[in-house]
Chains A and B, each alone.
Chain A
């Protein structure tokens, strides 16, 4: 178990190094930071001086090492555009993105599993057919279109919910701001959360349904029925637990995807999160922010993967190699 975790952590470090290399390559190859920073009037001598001062003339390996060392300490430099430390910028935007991702992830998981189980058990009911058909729409419509449609319906036509922003937020601690505590904050969360989570929900739902149908055909379910266990015990105890292993994997990865691809939703709803920050940085070739964002997403994916692997152990006893072989 410990060896397994250690191995996974080492693998994660390797992944992070590769991502760091890519982020770093951004500095070198996406435009020339010097011309971005100095504008057109600067003399060649000034440019060279700055180049020397920033260490851009050092060998590649030295620069990369420097970058990684500073990145590990949370120092990604100063944003070209906003002239603030990148880490500070990202941290100030992170709560908005994380709250949005959390809410849509939880919604996607709960409704995904719920609908998945329902459509698997009532395969031929009209409600199942309806859910399956609607879910096709969820999979095939692009996120921004869903967002725009929701805004049109609930914000413009019905005027029930706000169409943009986070509403009022409350500060918690030094740098966390939350929208959970105010009515306008909660109302603002609804539309973006649905927009962001809809695709993931349909994905989880279809996965749960397929897995559940598969599991319901297995011998141990037949045997459980032959022992007269209640439908409840069979469906939610024996069957659902067995569908959970692949579902956990996908949900975990999807949570990463939700955070990473919140960009579109954040743009549509002008949500003040990291995704919107990233989009604006791309527009202005704000390389330090882009690099830091890349690294942050990589960290999130790696951590989620690690958690998913550990969850396997919790769910599936066959992976716990506590006693070797069979006892006979």
Chain B
């Protein structure tokens, strides 16, 4: 659907539906989300809070918080389905084949164990190596993510490290068992602006080195523009647009994406106010029929209110879920 004629995708997500049963009916938080990630690729995932970015990541790694559940669609890792694996089999994939970096490095590390203990435990969970071998690997990893004097600092506790350093430790932990895919859920949101770029660089470099793909969840278009190969825009649990970063940023097809891009301040802009999209994203229990964006869209017409647009090709590798695209660019 999106990958085009690239090699076989590492991760394939097809028509993924995630639902939360509640007392007042079932809420559909992800609705037929589809995308691929190629080996070694960095896919950015953007959207407002509540659009379903983090939920997509949680669904892929099998850590949806109950009562949330996958109600439809499938997730494949190198062709094998992983969305319906038994818990024990899924556990062996986590960390080993899919790693995850969380938002807040201050709370991601267990305060009562040294960095060495946490790294060695993670390595030895997935790899059949001796304690000393694991320790050697751990020191190497810390060194690689840019912890100075790694061999000495590895026996420190998390509280001995600053926020930026802790996020480096988190990255080392996520990559400890050399996963093929790393899901980074807002890895820099909780950090000082001054260290954000460093962390993104470390993450990108180390993944590139190991050939690991990255799913980078963020609401920072700047990070996406600098880091990602392709970007998927989520709106109300649906993919609005997906394509190469340059195309999406420069030729946004979906009015929502265009609005997002308009909301990025630039130096050249001379207007005092940022462009903003009127209204707010609908709540999950009040998603309008047809296109979820139609109440806020400046280009809305009858079909948008009646029929949900499907994701369709607008340019090579560039797919958009908008009726305008079909009408305009066919």
- A residues touching B (Cβ–Cβ < 8 Å)? 218-220, 222-231, 233, 237-238, 241-242, 315-318, 323, 326-328
Contact = CB atoms under 8 A, between A and B. Distances in A.
B162 A328 contact: yes
A214 to B, nearest CB: 13
Interface in B184-238: none
Contacts of B130: none
10 contacts: A223-B100, A224-B110, A226-B63, A227-B94, A227-B174, A227-B176, A231-B91, A316-B111, A327-B156, A328-B162
A327 B161 contact: yes
A228 B125 CA distance: 8
A317 B176 CA distance: 24
Given A220-B109, A242-B111, A242-B112, A226 B94 contact: yes
Contacts of B142: none
A170 B61 CA distance: 62
Contacts of A229: 95, 121-122, 125
Given A238-B110, A318-B111, A328-B165, A228 B160 contact: no
A16 B110 CA distance: 39
Given A219-B108, A327-B153, 9 more contacts: A223-B170, A227-B177, A228-B95, A229-B121, A230-B125, A233-B125, A241-B113, A316-B112, A328-B161
A231 B61 CA distance: 16
Contacts of B100: 223, 226-227
Interface string B134-151: 000000000000000000
Contacts of A220: 107-111
Contacts of B69: none
A327 B165 contact: yes
Contacts of B20: none
Given A228-B93, A242-B112, A326 B102 contact: no
Interface in B148-183: 153, 156-157, 159-162, 164-165, 170, 173-174, 176-177
B16 to A, nearest CB: 19
Nearest to A227: B95
B63 A326 contact: no
A227 B125 CA distance: 9
A323 B160 contact: yes
B31 interface: no
A327 B99 CA distance: 26
Interface in B23-55: none
Q: Which of A223, A230, A233 has the most CB of B within 10 A?
A: A223
Nearest to A238: B110
| Chain B CB within 10 Å, residue with most, of A224, A229, A241 | A224
A228 B100 CA distance: 10
Among B63, B121, B177, max chain A CB count under 10 A is at B121
Contacts of A222: 63, 102
Given A219-B104, A242-B111, A230 B91 contact: yes
B253 interface: no
A306 B107 CA distance: 30
B126 interface: yes
B108 A228 contact: no
A327 to B, nearest CB: 6
For the complex of A and B, list the 10 residue pairs with the smallest distance between their C-beta atoms, beginning with the closest: A228-B95, A328-B162, A228-B94, A226-B100, A227-B95, A219-B107, A326-B162, A317-B157, A220-B110, A223-B108
Contacts of A218: 107
B112 A317 contact: yes
Interface in B73-126: 91-96, 99-100, 102, 104, 107-114, 121-122, 125-126
A314 to B, nearest CB: 11
Nearest to A218: B107
Contacts of B176: 227
B99 A226 contact: yes
A283 B19 CA distance: 68
Nearest to A316: B112
Contact of A226 (B61, B92, B111, B113): B61
Given A318-B159, A327-B153, A328-B164, A228 B113 contact: no
B47 to A, nearest CB: 21
Contact of B113 (A219, A238, A323, A328): A238
A233 B91 contact: no
Given A226-B61, A227-B176, A228-B177, A318 B157 contact: yes
Nearest to B110: A220
Most chain A CB inside 10 Å of its own CB: which residue of B91, B153, B174: B91
A219 B111 CA distance: 11
Contact of A228 (B91, B102, B107): B91
Given A223-B100, A317-B111, A327 B162 contact: yes
A220 B174 CA distance: 12
Report which residue of B94, B153, B161 has the largest number of chain A beta carbons within 10 angstroms of its beta carbon.
B94
Contacts of B110: 220, 224, 238, 242
B179 to A, nearest CB: 9
B190 to A, nearest CB: 10
Contact of A315 (B112, B126, B165): B112
A46 B111 CA distance: 70
A228 B113 CA distance: 17
Contact of A227 (B104, B107, B173): B173
B145 to A, nearest CB: 13
A39 B162 CA distance: 75
Nearest to A231: B91
Tell which of A229, A315, A328 has the most Cβ of chain B within 10 Å. Answer: A328
A52 to B, nearest CB: 63
Contacts of A327: 153, 156, 160-162, 165
